Amino acid sequence: MFMGGWRAADIPDLTERRAIVTGANSGIGYHTALELARHGAAVVLACRSAERGGAALERIRAELPDADVTLAALDLADLASVRDFAAGHGARPLDVLVNNAGVMAIPRRATADGFEMQFGTNHLGHFALTGLLLPALLAAPAARVVTVTSALAWAGRMNFDDLNGERRYRRWQAYGQSKLANLLFAKELDRRIAGLTSLAAHPGYAATNLQTAGPRMAGDRLGERIMTMANRLVAQSDAAGALPSLYAATAPDARGGACYGPRGFQQRGLPTRVRTPPAAGDRETARRLWEASERLTGVTYETPAT
């Protein structure tokens, strides 16, 4: 499926729509929130860092003085924070939820609840958040959930015997697993919940702080320099990387269960519907992941009686 020349200027009017973007303080998330606000949506910047989130809020307000943009605390690596956020932002209908925040290829760390950080933040935190916000999403007339994955999901596999990397941890394998989990979740959510459109998107190779965070945390100065240079020479901009998320969130012809990414070898360029790894379409794997996610987070998806 080829999207031609779709750009942020093609986003339809979003007046009276409400959106939440996780990880909106920088990179893909920032530009996603900025463009949603530019086109009239009331946007909540859901950020872990109050300082960085506040700086992003001021940047958006400087560019869009009349925009309806607010900042709220959300740490996806802490389920108590996820519950607090949902309790504070789940009372009104929610038209768009962009599950964008994440970490990439970091040394092994644990979340506040004891999960491996990449799986816990990238997948479990967003699984819990979406489930807790489900009543608000279903209260909107045509709500969408966009979950941001990665082309590296092609290298991922679900290790149900060691989801949290306790027996063996390799940071890139853990990242691939978390991004495959994002795809499995997005597709399964679209199948399970009537009245809700769930899609996936990925930015290709876009220059953000994700590439350098892992080497920095590991004390790998050479690796950090290499990633910094690659971002400058090879990657597309973070604004360009946000386009697939924006397409999935707003384009009238975006389809539930599909994934959108850059059209140039899934690395750079304007958005198009992209192929996903065969594992992402395996319904039995999706079922097992869903059940494991409910057990680990304590969040079940409650839908209105019909």
175 is catalytic: yes
Identified catalytic residue from 30, 169, 175, 205:
175
Report CA torsion sign: 79, 84, 89, 92: positive
CA 178 to chain centre: 11
CA distance 96 to 198: 10
Among all residues, which ones are annotated catalytic?
A: 175
